[in-house]
Structures are given as structure tokens and as C-alpha cells.
Structure 1
Amino acid sequence: MTATPERQLLRTPGLVDAHIHPDKTSWGAPWMSRRPAATLRELIENDRATQFGFDASVEQRSHALLSHALENGTLAMRAHVDVSSELGTANVEGVRAAAERLAPHLTVQIVAFPQFGLLTNPGTLDVMAAALDAGADLVGGIDPGGLEGDLHGHLDAIFGLADRAGRDLDIHLHDGGEDGLAQIREIAARTIAGGRQGRVTIGHAFALCDASLPSLGETLDRVAEAGIWIATCALGPDPVPDLDRFERHGVRLALGSDGVRDAWSPFGTGSMVDRAHLLAYRTGALTDAELERAWRLAGVAGGEMLGISEIADWAGPQSATRLEFAAESIAQLVTDRPAPMRVIRGGAEVRPPAAG
């Protein structure tokens, strides 16, 4: 009889989902068929229609997804949650209630996100302000040019609210081309002028992924100077950053899931192990160093972005906060995508939470 070799135990820092939408998820609910959509506006309208059709509450669906993410090693996340004149602050309250059920194991920062428009949806700015008292932590924004049609008006509104409330900003920006880069440079300029270096994030920032644009290098330099974080999600056909180029310019990058099984897409698992694998695959990672970089962007970098010191400044394998895997190396983890054997935070092992 041949002895079976013992599995190697690999300890790693916790994982961080830097960009996720738990209020939109159908996780744990019956299968949801998606409507076709060819444009961002169509995707948003499909989402608007879906918001009011769920039988399960925002809290129930969010709790199901957040619990699954936690079991798979996510210890912190930044959740973009819809607020609008129609929805009010209900989604923020639902996600915050779900997050509180998982504390202190899971840290959840909530962004008050004007998915359905801010200037184009009167009353939403007031709801965003109310959301900051109802469980939201950051001020969000969305495509000031392409969707709102008023770059300066939109940025005036969200930077003004952030200043009045003393909050940080996290802005969705899907617009591509030189116009997208111009919007990013304007956000960088306002960040520097307001002394907000390190306190502003741009999600997606697809224009930064287009090497053909003449002002790309200049824009990357402005982003680095402003200390702006870029959150990427490596989704389907969406552009992905040139990781080497971002590093050369000093641009800080973190990785997130975006939507998980929502009206936008049937895909997503809520596992940052899976997401690190996807980023590595989409960026052509071959070497151990390239695979390890994808893991860092799914964990330590997100810890730096969210200010989670026990992840950002991980103390090593004996840390009281760690993940434990049966694997030889980080590179193998990214390739094989196993779930952690144990999830430990603050010295306490995380047990699967109750459903409901």
C-alpha cells in the first residue's frame, strides 16, 4: 500500500473585494433570465426593471452573497449600493443590515451609488446625503460625461457632498476614448486641489486600458500624482489594464467582482480566488511572479485601498488574520482556485453563517 503524501499548508493574507454590487445579486434566489442589452444605458434600464421584481429582500440576497464571499476568504469589501429618488435609502439599509450580521469577520464599506443618474434624476443628491446617515460610508458617482452629460456639474455635486460630509469618493467611469481620459484628468485635478490624495477611487476606468490613446501616459501620471486608486474587475469583454504599464507609472490598482449573478450578467461567484484567476488569465500571466501579482491585487492591494491594516500590513503566516489552503504556492492557488480550508480573522475561525 502506497502512502498518500500529506498536503502542504499554505497561509496567506485575507482577500478583499474592491468593487461589488451586493444589492443587485440574485445569489440564493431562483434562476433569473437576462434581457439582451447592447449599451450601458440598456443595461441600466434592465437593472432598474429588475430592482422591483425580486421576491427576496435586499438584506436576504446580500447576506447570501456576502456569506459565500466570506467562506471563500473575502474579509473586506467595498459595496456599491444603489440610491435614487425611486429607491430612496432602502438598498443601503438592506446591505448594511446584512453586513452587520457578519461582523466582525467581514468589513463592508458602502458607497452611495447613483446608478440611475444624479443630475438626470432630480432628488437623488438629497437621497445620497441621507444614505450617508443610513449606513453608507462613501460618495459615489457615474459617468459624468457619457451618462450625465455634464462633467463639471456632476463632479461639483459629488465632490461638494463629499466635502460637506467629510467622506471619500468612489466613482464609476465606463467612458472610453480621449473623452474618458479627459474626465479622469479632471477628477485627478479636483482630487489634488482638494487635498484628497489617496481618498478617491475610480472604478473600471476603461479609457486607461486603451494603449492607442495619445494622452494615456500623461493621464496615468496624473492619476498616480493624485494617489487615485483604480478598481478593475476583468469582466467578460471589458478592457483590462496593462499591469506592467500601470506599475511603471505608479498607478495603484485593486481587484473586485463587480456584479454577481445580477441583471447585468449571469456570471460571477463572489470568490476573489476566482477573480484573481480571471485577472491572471485575461492579462496573460505565465510566471509565478505574474500569478502572484494577481493574488496581491485581490488581497493586499485591496486592504491598502480600504485601509484594512491586518491585510495591507500582513504580519506573516502566524498572523491572527489569515487564510489556510492546501496548496504549494500562491501561483498554484491562482491557477487551481481552491476554496480555503480555514478562514481566520482576529484569531477566531470563521464558521459558515446561518442562512436567511
Structure 2
Amino acid sequence: MSQPLIVPGFVNAHVHPDKTSFGSTWLHRKPAHSLKDLISNDLETQLAYADSVETRMGALVQDAIASGVTAMRAHVDFGPQIGLKNIHGAAAVAEKYKEMIDIQIVAFPQFGLLSNPGAVDLLEAALGEGAQLVGGIDPEGLEQDLHGHLDVVFGLAEKYGRRADIHVHDTGEVGYREIQEIARRTQALGMNGQVTIGHAFALADAPSAELERTLDAVAEAGIWIATCALGSDPVPDLDLLAKHGVNVDLGTDGVRDAWSPFGTASMMDRAHLLAYRTNAITDEQLERCLDIATIEGAKMMGIDRVLNPVQGDGAYFEAEHRAQLVVDRPAAYQVVRGGVQIAANGRLS
């Protein structure tokens, strides 16, 4: 028989809310055959949006809160092509909904950093105009300058005392090199636990001695790995990562943007996808996916309140077991923050 179950507030640990078409008109997408194609389509789409970042991201955030999400790490684009308007828009949304959700903003160089003249100065400016974290992207595979790219990212993180969150889509030897160098710099600067690598597709490569060494380096540096269980994208072996002591959190990545028409604001949906992609069968495996979408994300973001769902942040569901939640994906009938109701039955209070 179903009964009331409360789980900690969900955490979307990796999302691009400024790109979303949520709350706007249907977006007609172009085909893409490479990462560069996707980035090019993304820029064209952003420049053509009639609705502001505040409008689109605001609609996504409202839906997220109603589904039980009480914290979010937002990767927000900047660059000479768009300036800092996305950063400013995201900061406005974070301020508007601050009583309901914690939003950390990463200044994300989607269109390049060293390869995009003027982007380095804008990255530094973004840290004073709404962004809390320094972002990076494929230092070698996309930027073609592993050390130069990371010099900027870690240099600004050290200068301003900020955390870093770096996308690494590269696989194989390039991906290993990038991840190992990020781990080395993390340790050298005493930033253990303050650095996240998004996607980290190389960690889903076939087992090898180099993969084992890379996982050990990640664990020793206390680096968080943000996976999104997207489509056909690689998803790491959760048992293998746990064996090496690697921290894992979960995000949605893009939600209904130029990259993909799919995605929802619900992290319950994403926990379901993670469970499906990792062949979760037992209650323990299913509950691990739920924990990754809640408790582990909160630890990564440094939000202790989420860890106490009764007096802190939580969502109430009707179900027999926590494992069943991940399979059935029921809607939250109540969402609380600091012990106070902020949403019920899909609507904000």
C-alpha cells in the first residue's frame, strides 16, 4: 500500500537554463554531426530567441521547484557574441526565486575561451556580475591548448577564491590527459572537493590501466563527476566509480534547447534515466540513483540544509518504497524548503 514518503530536495547539478526554449514557442532544430555543429546551432538559436533568458529560465525554474528541485548549478553562456546578458538574466532569476531554490551560476565559455578573442576578459568580468564559479570546456579537444586553458580557469579560481566546473566531452587518451591534469592542478592548489568535471565521457571508456589511474587521480583530488545520462552519450559505471571512491552527482544538461528537443525540469525523471542507463535492478541500485540526484548533489554544492528533509528541503510522494519512486516517477504532492511548504500538487505556493 502506498504511503507518504519524504526525500531530500532534488539537486540539478548540471543544467544550461539560459539555453532552454521552455516557456517559449516550439523550437525548430537543425541537424548536427559534431560538437562544433551543435555549438554553432546553439549560438544561432540564442541570437534568434524572442523571449529573454529571464522568461525562459524562469519558466524552467518554476517547473523545477514544483517537481521538488531545491538547488541547481546553472552553466550560463557568455562571450563576445552575446556579452554577459545571459549571466545577468540568470542572476536575476536566481534572485527572484532565492527563497525557493539555491542557484549557483557557472560562467561557461560555450563558444570558446582562448579560441574566442575577448572571452577571457569577459570570464573575469562575469565573476563580478552574477557568476559564482569559473567554467571551462574541453581544454585540449576543443580549445587545442590544455595548459593554456587550465591556466586561465584555475588562475581565476585561485585569484577570486572560486570553485571550478569544467566540461570534458573528450574520450580516450585526450580525455584522460585533461582529467588527470585537472586533478593535478586541483591538488596543487589545495582545491580538493571544490572542482567538478561535467560529463567526463572518458570515464565511461572500456576498462584499462589508464582508466584506473585516472579514476584514482579523480578520487584523490576529491573531484565531483557530473553525469547527465543523456541519449546515447556515455554514462560511467557507477560501481567502478564507487570502488575508486569517486564522487558522482546528476544533472539534466540542456532542457529543450538547440541541442535536443528532450528533457524536463524534473530530477525524478533524470534519476529514472540514470537508473535505466546503468541497468539498475535491485532496490539498492535504484536508491543509489535517487541519492545521487539529491544528497550527493547537495554535498557537491555545499548545501547542508538538503540533507535534513523534514526541517530542511524535501519533497513528499505517495509510494511504498524509495526504490519505487525511481521507477514510477510520481509527482510530488508537497515540496518544502526550510521546513516550509513552497509547492503543492505541481504549483508554487
Q: What band does the TM-score fall into relative to the shorter chain?
A: over 0.9
Q: Distance in 2 between matches of 1:93 and 1:84?
A: 13
**What is residue 329 of structure 2 aligned with on the other side?**
337
CA contact (8 A) 1:114 1:140 kept: yes
Residue 320 of structure 1: how far off its partner (Å): 4.0
Is residue 2:286 matched to residue 1:286?
A: no
Aligned to 1:220: 215
Q: Alpha-carbon deviations, 1:37-77, whole Å to 9, x = none?
A: 01111100000111111111001000000110110000001
CA distance in 2, matches of 1:11, 1:157: 43
**Given the alignment, which residue of 186, 196, 199 partners 1:201?**
196
Q: Report the alpha carbon displacement of residue 99 of structure 1 after superposing the two structures with TM.
A: 1.7
Stretch moving more, 168-177 or 158-167: 158-167
Give 2:118's aligned residue.
123
Taking the aligned partners of 1:212 and 1:197, their CA distance within structure 2 comes to: 25
- Tell me if the contact between 1:178 and 1:213 (Cα under 8 Å) persists in the aligned partners: no
Residue among 315, 335, 343 paired with 1:323: 315
Q: Identify the residue that residue 242 of structure 1 maps to in structure 2.
A: 237
Quick check: 1:154 aligned with 2:149?
yes
* Cα separation, 2, equivalents of 1:142 and 1:321: 32
1:253 to 2:248 alignment: yes
How far did residue 149 of structure 1 move? 0.3
Aligned residue among 136, 139, 142 for 1:141: 136
**1:268 & 1:157 partners in 2: Cα distance?**
32
For 1:322 and 1:47, the matched residues in 2 are separated by 34
Give the corresponding residue for 2:74. 79
Partner SS, residue 97 of structure 1: helix
Match of 1:8 in 2: 3
The answer on whether the counterparts of 1:177 and 1:213 sit within 8 Å (CA) in structure 2 is no
Describe how 1:24-39 pairs up with structure 2 within 5 A.
24-39=19-34
Residues matched between the structures, number: 346
Give the distance between the partners of 1:353 and 1:55, measured in 2 at CA: 26
- Residue 84 of structure 2 is matched in structure 1 by 89
Q: Take 1:328 and 1:213, find their aligned partners in 2: how far apart are those partners?
A: 41
Q: Does 1:98 align with 2:93?
A: yes
CA distance in 1, matches of 2:31, 2:348: 35
Q: Residue 173 in 1 paired to residue 168 in 2?
A: yes
Q: Kindly provide the amino acid, as one letter, of the partner of residue 328 in structure 2.
A: D
**Aligned partner of 2:314: which letter?**
R
Structure 1 vs Structure 2: percent identity of aligned residues?
57
Measured in 2, the distance between the counterparts of 1:52 and 1:320 equals: 40
Q: Per the alignment, in what secondary structure is the counterpart of residue 67 of structure 1?
A: helix
1:96 is paired with a residue of what secondary structure?
helix
CA distance in 2, matches of 1:86, 1:210: 35
User: What are the superposed Cα offsets for residues 253-285 of structure 1, whole Å, 9 maximum, x if unpaired?
Assistant: 000000000000000001100000000000000
* Partner Cα separation in structure 2 for residue 12 and residue 19 of structure 1: 20
2: CA distance, partners of 1:83 / 1:164: 20
Contact 1:82–1:92, Cα closer than 8 Å, also in 2: yes
The verdict on how the C-alpha distance between 1:320 and 1:169 changes in structure 2, with shifts beyond 3 A counting, is closer
Contact kept, 8 Å, 2:316 with 2:333, in 1: the verdict is yes
Structure 2: any 5+ residue segments left out of the alignment?
none
Residues 276 and 334 in structure 1, CA contact (< 8 A), matched pair in contact too:
yes
CA contact (8 A) 2:11 2:70 kept: yes
Shift of 1:214: 3.7
Matched residue of 1:52: which SS? helix
Deviation at 1:339, TM superposition (A): 1.4
Secondary structure, in 3 states, of the residue corresponding to 1:38?
coil
SS in 1 for 2:48: coil
The one-letter amino acid of 2:311's match is S
SS at structure 1 position matched to 2:86 = helix
Post-superposition offset of 1:328: 1.0
Q: How far apart are residue 353 of structure 1 and its match?
A: 4.5
**Equivalent position SS for 1:298:** helix
What root-mean-square deviation, in Å, do the aligned CA atoms of Structure 1 and Structure 2 show? Answer: 1.2
Aligned residue type for 2:175: G
Q: Which 4+ runs in 1 deviate beyond 6 A?
A: none
TM-fit CA distance, 1:181: 0.5
- Deviation of the 1:319 alpha carbon: 2.8
1:234: Cα distance to partner?
0.3
Alignment-mate amino acid for residue 146 of structure 1: G
Distance in 2 (CA, whole Å) between partners of 1:212 and 1:9 is 42
Distance 1:33 1:213 in 2: 41
Structure 1 alignment gaps of length 5 or more? none
